[in-house]
């Protein structure tokens, strides 16, 4: 069950990253955002909105903070019921957990942080095409394949 796998706070031996598929953004119903980050090596691949969980932070607080920080909007509070993808991975800095939440827009206007180059809004069908075409970042593509 998820209650056994969810990390309310990340282990000291392992990092966590959190991302969201966000629905209900005004003017973009039926679409969800993906982003290009600045100063990333080519080719530029789209990724879901999100990032690293800070020390002592819950994964739930982290996704709310990351969405607000990266694209300026507030999402409705999320819980373990909103986790739609979770996998244990090993990267160049060691083991980490990769979570994707299904989230819903609550308030705010889209405003990109300095580290975000561009935002895209795509339907699930268009996103499937992007995944098949190799235009979505590693791990994000696997999550989207499972969720769309």
Instruction: Say what the pLDDT of residue 148 is.
Output: 83
Contact 123, 31 (CB under 8 A): yes
Across the chain, what does the average pLDDT equal?
Answer: 88
The radius of gyration computed from the CA coordinates of the chain, to the nearest angstrom, equals: 14
Instruction: Say what the pLDDT of residue 120 is.
Output: 96
- Cβ-proximal residues to 131 (8 Å cutoff; 6+ apart), any chain: 141, 144, 145, 148
Instruction: Say what the pLDDT of residue 12 is.
Output: 55
Q: What is the pLDDT of residues 38-76, one digit of tens each?
A: 987 767 899 999 999 998 888 999 999 999 999 999 999
Contact 94, 14 (CB under 8 A): yes
Residue predicted with more confidence, 96 or 19: 19
SS (H, E, C) the chain: CHHHHCCCECCCCCEEEEEEEEECCCCCCCCEEEEEECCCCCCCCEEEEEEECCCCCEHHHHHHHHHHHHHCCEECCCCHHHEEEEEEEEECCEEEEEEEEEEEEEECCCCCCCCEEEEEEECHHHHHHHHHCCCECCCHHHHHHHHC
Q: Confidence class of residue 15 from pLDDT cuts 50, 70 and 90?
A: confident
What share of the chain has pLDDT > 90, as a percent? Answer: 68
Mean pLDDT within 105-124: 96
Contact 85, 147 (CB under 8 A): yes
Least confident range of 14-23, 35-44, 104-113, 133-142: 35-44
Contact 116, 36 (CB under 8 A): yes
The pTM assigned to this predicted structure is 0.89
Q: Confidence class of residue 5 from pLDDT cuts 50, 70 and 90?
A: very low
Instruction: Say what the pLDDT of residue 91 is.
Output: 80
Mean pLDDT within 33-42: 87
Q: Confidence class of residue 13 from pLDDT cuts 50, 70 and 90?
A: low
């Amino acid at each position: 069950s998820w209650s056994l796998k969810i990390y309310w706070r990340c282990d000291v031996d392992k990092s966590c990253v959190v991302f969201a598929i966000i629905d209900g953004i005004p003017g973009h119903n039926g679409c969800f955002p993906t982003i290009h980050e600045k100063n990333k090596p080519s080719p530029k691949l789209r990724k879901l909105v999100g990032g690293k969980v800070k020390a002592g932070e819950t994964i739930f607080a982290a996704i709310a903070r990351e969405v607000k920080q990266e694209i300026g909007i507030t999402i409705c509070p999320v819980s373990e019921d909103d986790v739609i993808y979770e996998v244990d991975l090993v990267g160049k800095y060691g083991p980490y957990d990769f979570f994707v939440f299904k989230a819903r827009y609550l308030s705010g206007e889209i405003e990109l942080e300095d580290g975000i180059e561009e935002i895209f809004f795509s339907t699930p069908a268009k996103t499937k095409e992007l995944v098949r075409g190799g235009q979505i970042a590693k791990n994000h593509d696997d999550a989207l394949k499972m969720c769309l």
